[in-house]
Homo-oligomer: A and B are copies of this chain.
Amino acid sequence: MQPLADAPATHRSAYEGSCASSHGDGRGIREVLDRIGDKWSLLVIATLERGRLRFSELQQHIPGVSQRMLTLTLRHLERDGLVTRTVHAEVPPRVEYELTDLGGTLIGPASAFAEWAIAAFPRIEAARAAYDERV
């Protein structure tokens, strides 16, 4: 079985003190970035922004995600309190996911970053091309 809490959380003291002092200590940043910096989390959050969705709907809206990774991602987000999971006692089963209030507050910062990425990507690509050409 794949443990849900597979995060080691062993190097908690690595961030104490000096680093990232201009933005406060980076303690939570590492943990949060490890979670939403993975392959699917931000994508799930963005998709859930439109409202409550079923598992299969999420899968359809996120092309390329496997059943396993969607399940794992949703479990992690649920554990972190960013997403709620509601199971309806029906046949066939129906499970719906929705952003929590906390999850909703991530939308703003995530948007800021996403817009930066879109705006900066042409220059990044150009820089890569220039760099690769020099080598």
Binding site for B on A (CB under 8 A): 1-5, 7, 11, 13-20, 22-29, 31-33, 37-38, 42-43, 45-47, 49-50, 60-64, 78-82, 102, 105-118, 120-124, 126-128, 130-132, 135
Contacts and interface: CB of A to CB of B under 8 A. Distances in A.
A contact face: mostly helix, strand, loop, or mixed: helix
A91 B11 CA distance: 34
Given A1-B46, A121-B28, A112 B109 contact: yes
B124 A81 contact: yes
5 contacts: A1-B46, A16-B47, A19-B46, A29-B42, A29-B114
Contacts of A132: 5, 79
